[in-house]
Chain A
Amino acid sequence: MPAGTLYRGREGMWSWVAHRVTGVLIFFFLFVHVLDTALVRVSPEDYDKVVATYKTPIVALLEYGLVAAILFHALNGLRVIAVDFWSKGPRYQKQMLWTVVGVWVVLMAGAVYPVLGHAARVLFGS
């Protein structure tokens, strides 16, 4: 570890890094998402045309990535709240991070078929 840095590595720092990265990604998607939804004020055809891109396999993969980012940010955010407000939070922050990772893996496995199912039917037929 170089001298004079505040970065300490391990669970604490990397969860903080991941929280920032996922937060920024989600925020940028939010801009796009409000804009695409605003097309319902233009015409049903224009809205459906743009939503059709959300149903293509490549964008479906991006949606799976979005779900991954949101789920991590949500679960780790609850952990941050526990660290801040629960008296034993700081002591158990590592255990709580691995709990977050475990729940995240289970939810991501569960999201494979619902999120990517449509793309699979497009690619391979139903």
Chain B
Amino acid sequence: MSTTESPAAGVGPVEGAPLFDVDNPAPLIEAPRKRTKKTPRSTRGNFEMAAWLFMRLSGVVLVVLVLGHLLIQLVLDGGVSKIGFAFVAGRWASPFWQVWDLLMLWLAMLHGANGLRTIINDYAERANTRLWLKGLLYTATVFTILLGSLVIFTFDPNIR
């Protein structure tokens, strides 16, 4: 066993600190996940954290939007029996309900898509399966959001 200053295998010099010190007779070992100048920039970003936060923020808004929607469509004024083209035309005559429905469409679709993305990641074990399921999910989500937005923006009460 040599007692020279050559470090043991696996012990690298800590940036800005000598290997040995008066107060640290034993060599300093870099904390495994410590960020240093040599650490490559993170390649992942904070997407998962943003997605987690989005689920909670959109969830709170959706509680109001969706429960209000259910109250209007299924409970008040005769419940489901009054729903028809005339009822839709009456509500979408107001920009307030157009914005309500548009916001509900976007938030609900993105909230649901992110939820299903999580479920696919959890249960689909093969990378290829995940790829195809998520491809299908994103295609269906984009299609549905675009279709719904188009319907709200181009609705014509005098279509016939």
**Majority DSSP secondary structure for residues of B touching A:** helix
- The smallest beta-carbon distance between B19 and chain A, in angstroms, is 41
Residues B79 and A37 in contact, CB atoms below 8 Å apart: no
Q: Pick the residue among B63, B78, B156 that contacts A77 (CB under 8 A).
A: B63
- Complex interface: chain B residues within 8 A of A37 (CB): 88, 148, 151
CB–CB B80/A70 < 8 A: no
Contact flag A26-B88 (CB < 8 Å), given A44-B160, A51-B83, A118-B79: no
Question: Is the C-beta of A101 less than 8 angstroms from some C-beta in chain B?
Answer: no
Residues of A within 8 A of B (CB): 20, 23-24, 26-27, 30-31, 34-35, 37-38, 40-41, 43-45, 47-48, 51, 54-55, 60, 63, 67, 70-71, 74, 77-78, 80-81, 84-85, 111, 114-115, 117-118, 121
In the complex, besides A40-B151, A44-B159, A48-B85, 5 extra interface pairs with C-beta distance below 8 angstroms are A23-B116, A26-B112, A34-B147, A41-B156, A118-B78
